[in-house]
Structure 1
Amino acid sequence: MPDTDPGERLLRLLENDLETARTLEIFADFDITRRDPIENLAIPCGLPLFPIAADGAGGTFFLVGDESAERRPVLYTDSEGSGSLIAEDLAEALSIFIALGFWRDAGYGFDFDGIEADLRENEPDADQIRADLLAAIGVPAISREEARDKLLAAAARTAPDFVALADFADATPYELMFHPPRGAAGVEA
């Protein structure tokens, strides 16, 4: 990847700062040392997928698009056959992870206080961890609400062009991760 790719710059930063990378792995379950997806995937728009990290449950994070693109969205696929765009680029994804911690739970009807309480139970120094990660990585701080809104906006752009599909016969498209509740504005009951 070229030196000008901001996603590559952030990945190199994390590769060279193992303490920050480890903190991000513990705090947000984003492990840059594991980049082998469970299966080979493609997306309908034909853009290439570059695995950049994994989580502890077998999910994979991908940068989407050619190395020359100015911004490359981040696609996440889990080991259960669900996936979603989660951010416009890696910097935005990291901001979301730092703001939310348990970002996978940030769907519609997200209970900020309950999820934050769970996070603080595991990480009592969450505020300091967030400040240290933001300073080390150099991404902007965003509120939990803004993080959720950015995550859901990216997820809403997943279908039809970015829905993952495994490269074996009879594979079915991955399920979308974030759905508005039935009866919500614009959603049929």
Structure 2
Amino acid sequence: MITSDGLLHRIGNDPDIAALLAWPGGFSLGGEEHGEDFQLPGGLPRYPIASCGSGGVYFLCGEPGAAQRPVLYVGSEGEATLMGADLAEAVALITACPYWQDLGNGHPVDDLEEALREDHPGIDERRDRAFAVLGLARPTAGEALTRLRAVAARTAPHYLPTSPAEDDDEEDMPYDLLFRNDA
């Protein structure tokens, strides 16, 4: 299995794959640090790896070299979700469902998939190539939705960011979950 660093290197060295993840996937390498100060439970370190066009940032959580380094998405509106147990899963879900953020708003996956194919002729061939080059198994849209919801359900409490309280007598403010269990 490829490491997160190896996968990031592979994506960065293939402009076609990087372009597919950037648009329509919303995963552009070289992400900036998130604009707001936040912390993860237990002081877990996080490292920005990519950004999206709406101001959100993807982070690898945990120390480099750790066996488990989940990918966390932190949006610009105070929302967050785990995207994968590791970078390979996150990239597979983003590639399979580049409209993943709309799934959190209750849009049917079949409608989103149809619109994607209409707007981006050849998207299936591009996705097939991305999965092949990255050595990842391609889930169906339905499988990706199931996996995305399962990983998102693990966001709280261990990976839910909080904003530090402004006053000592206040509690830190948790981010909103991007995907709720009832979604």
Q: How big is each residue's C-alpha offset from its partner over 1:118-144, in whole Å with a ceiling of 9 and x where there is no partner?
A: 211221111111111112222111111
Structure 2 gap segments, 5+ residues each: none
Q: How big is each residue's C-alpha offset from its partner over 1:19-73, in whole Å with a ceiling of 9 and x where there is no partner?
A: 3212210120100033332223211132101111000000000011111212311
Q: Distance in 2 between matches of 1:8 and 1:69?
A: 11
Partner of 2:50: 53
Partner of 2:123: 126
Partner of 2:110: 113
Alignment of 1:23-42 (within 5 A): 23-42=20-39
Residue correspondences, number: 179
Q: Which runs of 4+ in 1 moved over 6 A?
A: none
8 Å contact kept, 1:14–1:20: yes
SS at match of 2:166: coil
Q: How big is each residue's C-alpha offset from its partner over 1:88-147, in whole Å with a ceiling of 9 and x where there is no partner?
A: 111001111111120112238551221012211221111111111112222111111221
Partner of 1:92: 89
Partner of 1:185: none
Identity %: 37
The yes-or-no answer on 1:9 pairing with 2:10 is: no
The yes-or-no answer on 1:146 pairing with 2:139 is: no
8 Å contact kept, 1:73–1:88: yes
C-alpha change, 1:5 and 1:132, in structure 2 (3 Å) is closer
SS at match of 1:62: strand
Match of 2:73 among 72, 76, 89: 76
SS at match of 1:133: helix
Calculate the aligned-residue CA RMSD, in Å.
Answer: 2.1
8 Å contact kept, 2:113–2:141: no
What is the letter of the counterpart of residue 126 of structure 1? Answer: I
Structure 1 gap segments, 5+ residues each: 183-189
8 Å contact kept, 2:7–2:87: yes
Q: Give me the TM-score of the superposition, normalised by structure 1.
A: 0.86
Q: Distance in 2 between matches of 1:53 and 1:63?
A: 10
Q: Distance in 1 between matches of 2:95 and 2:177?
A: 23
SS at match of 1:45: helix
The yes-or-no answer on 1:65 pairing with 2:66 is: no
What is the letter of the counterpart of residue 154 of structure 1? Answer: V
8 Å contact kept, 2:165–2:173: no
8 Å contact kept, 1:27–1:101: yes
C-alpha change, 1:57 and 1:109, in structure 2 (3 Å) is closer
